[in-house]
Structure formats: structure tokens, C-alpha cells
């Protein structure tokens, strides 16, 4: 399967609802669902390499589902930009999971996708079809370095327009080199789904996301971030899923101190670091794929339907 299937789910909101798109790999009838959720300004095709590896390596049929979080990719843009916040994204994921109806559920979350995963896994009263069995948190934890928030705020929402895919890829590399080494072909493959072709007279390409996602992000302060950190630690401590924490060794978002604390409390995550990578590993390099696939596909004692 070289290309995923594009589907969507209707999600409620105060403005009448919106549509969230998601990319699906593997067996659409499998009860073993692995949800992969991207970072703040990314989209679901980020997981193409990992999803194909999981489908190929699994000893049973799996269904890998990679949403475009609302405001990104093929999903709708919100009428009210103040809705671009993690609790609302988690609500959309509940709508998605109700539609998918898994009998086994695993979660991979990069950065923002990991925060959404902590909300999903850390609240025992949520109406999940089944609890999350295995959780991968990619370069994110309850405490986020304020300097990283400031760095992201410098470019978020400033999409611009590009004459070609190659020009756009170069511009994205300038703000994403912390992802670590990639070949030209790998980076172009990551970059193409980040763009939409413009149909007006000016033509060219623009980034795929609603620039308004920067509005609630830009409203954050050190004080509000500290309050959010306390809540996230409470959620993290409630997680029952077997947890793998992946960290770029040069990450400016997830500190070594926070990563170590995550191995000592809550689900006591297993920590794996990748040298030469900052925020965040892209799960394209063979060693990164191997770590995640081995964790998710290790023998499981529960039923697989």
C-alpha cells in the first residue's frame, strides 16, 4: 500500500461543527488501531514512513490512522480561531475514535500530538471505545521550555507564498533543521503535503494550515504555561498505558530534566534519545522507525480482533 486512504469525521463545535480529515493505512477492518497525531504546524502525512513500516512489520492486520488536526492539511478551518487549543483537539479525537471503534488502541503523538495523547490517556472518565494500550510521546512532556515556545511563535502563522515546492521546502528547512539529517528526497516528501497550490492569479504555493492557529498560541504567557504544566503533570501521572518517550538529544522543547522525571513517575516511560536531532524526530530514519515499531508491535496479551 503506497498511498493512504483519505476519510473524514464530523466534529461538534460552538459554530456548527467542522470536518476533520484523516489518512488511513493498512486494513480498514482491523480492530487494532494505531493513531498517529502530528505537531503544531504539521499534518498527518508526516507519518507515511512509520505507518507503512508498521503495516509491513505487524504479524496481524493493523489500521494506522493519521489525522489532520483541524485547521491543518485537508481538514476544515475553524470559524472561531480561539478554538485552536488542545482540549478541543482532544474532543475531535474522541469523535474519531467513536467512528473507528477499535478493539485495541495505541497512540503516537509528536509534540502537540503528544499533548493531545496525554489528555486522552490521562482522564479515566473519557468515553473511549477501549483504553490506550501503548503510548509514544515524541519529544514532548508536561513541562515545555518557554524558550522553545518563543522560538515557534516567531514563525507560526507567517506562511508566505512560494513559487515552487523546492522554494517552500528550503524555507521550511530554515525553521526545521532541528528535525535532524534528511536526504533531499526525504525532505521533499515531508514538504509536499505541507503545501497547497494557490488558484488565484498570483499562483504558487502556500502552507497548508490556517494562519489563525497562531492566535491562541501567541496569547500564551509564562504564567499560563506554568498553570498548564501543573495540569499536564496531573494528566501524565494518571496514564496507565505502557509509555515510550522519544527525545531528540538536542531538543530545546523537552529538557533532559523533564524527560528523566517522566521515567520516574506516572507511567514511568521508557526513554530513548536520538543524537544529532532536536525537536523533533520525524520517524523517517531507520533507527527511529525501529524503536517505535518494536515498541508498538511487541507481543500483546490482549485480544486482537
β-bridge pairing 18-26 and 63-67: antiparallel
Residue 201 pLDDT grade (very low, low, confident, very high; cuts 50, 70, 90): confident
User: What sign does the dihedral 199-200-201-203 (CA atoms) show?
Assistant: negative
CATH 3.40.50.620 fits 5-147+230-297, yes or no: no
Residue 301 pLDDT grade (very low, low, confident, very high; cuts 50, 70, 90): low
pLDDT tens column, 124-147: 999 999 999 999 999 999 999 999
Report the share of the chain in percent with pLDDT over 90.
Answer: 92
Strand partners, 21: 8
Which sequence spans correspond to the domains of the chain? 5-147+230-297
Cβ burial of 157 (10 Å; 0-12, 13-18, 19+) is middle
pLDDT tens column, 4-57: 999 999 999 999 999 999 999 999 999 999 999 999 999 999 999 999 999 999
Closest CA to 53 of 39, 40, 64: 64
Report d(CA 67, CA 65) in Å as an integer: 6
Amino acid at each position: 500500500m503506497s498511498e493512504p486512504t483519505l476519510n473524514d469525521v464530523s466534529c461538534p463545535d460552538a459554530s456548527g461543527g467542522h470536518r476533520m480529515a484523516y489518512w488511513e493505512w493498512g486494513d480498514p477492518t482491523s480492530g487494532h488501531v494505531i493513531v498517529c497525531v502530528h505537531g503544531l504546524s504539521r499534518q498527518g502525512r508526516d507519518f507515511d514512513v512509520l505507518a507503512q513500516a508498521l503495516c509491513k512489520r505487524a504479524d496481524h492486520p493493523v489500521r494506522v490512522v493519521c489525522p489532520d488536526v483541524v485547521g491543518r492539511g485537508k481538514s476544515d478551518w475553524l470559524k472561531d480561531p480561539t478554538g485552536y487549543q488542545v482540549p478541543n483537539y482532544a474532543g475531535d479525537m474522541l469523535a474519531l475514535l467513536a467512528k473507528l471503534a477499535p478493539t485495541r488502541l495505541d497512540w503516537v503523538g509528536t509534540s502537540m500530538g503528544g499533548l493531545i495523547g496525554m489528555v486522552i490517556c490521562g482522564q479515566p472518565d473519557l468515553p473511549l471505545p477501549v483504553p490506550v494500550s501503548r503510548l509514544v510521546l515524541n519529544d514532548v512532556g508536561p513541562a515545555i521550555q518557554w524558550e522553545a515556545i518563543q522560538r515557534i511563535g516567531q514563525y507560526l502563522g507567517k506562511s508566505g507564498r512560494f513559487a515552487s515546492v523546492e522554494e517552500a521546502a528550503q524555507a521550511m528547512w530554515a525553521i526545521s533543521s532541528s528535525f535532524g539529517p534528511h536526504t533531499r528526497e526525504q525532505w521533499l516528501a515531508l514538504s509536499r503535503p505541507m503545501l497547497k497550490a494557490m488558484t488565484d492569479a498570483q499562483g504558487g504555493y502556500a502552507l497548508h494550515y490556517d494562519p489563525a492557529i497562531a492566535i491562541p498560541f501567541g496569547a500564551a504567557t509564562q504564567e499560563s504555561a506554568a498553570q498548564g504544566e501543573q495540569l499536564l503533570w496531573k494528566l501524565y501521572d494518571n496514564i496507565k498505558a505502557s509509555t515510550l518517550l522519544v527525545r531528540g538529544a538536542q531538543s530545546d522543547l523537552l529538557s533532559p530534566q523533564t524527560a528523566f522525571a517522566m521515567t520516574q513517575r506516572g507511567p514511568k516511560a521508557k526513554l530513548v534519545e536520538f543524537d544529532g536531532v532536536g525537536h523533533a524526530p520525524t520517524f523517517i530514519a531507520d533507527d527511529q522507525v525501529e524503536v517505535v515499531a518494536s515498541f508498538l508491535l511487541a507481543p500483546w496479551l490482549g485480544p486482537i480482533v
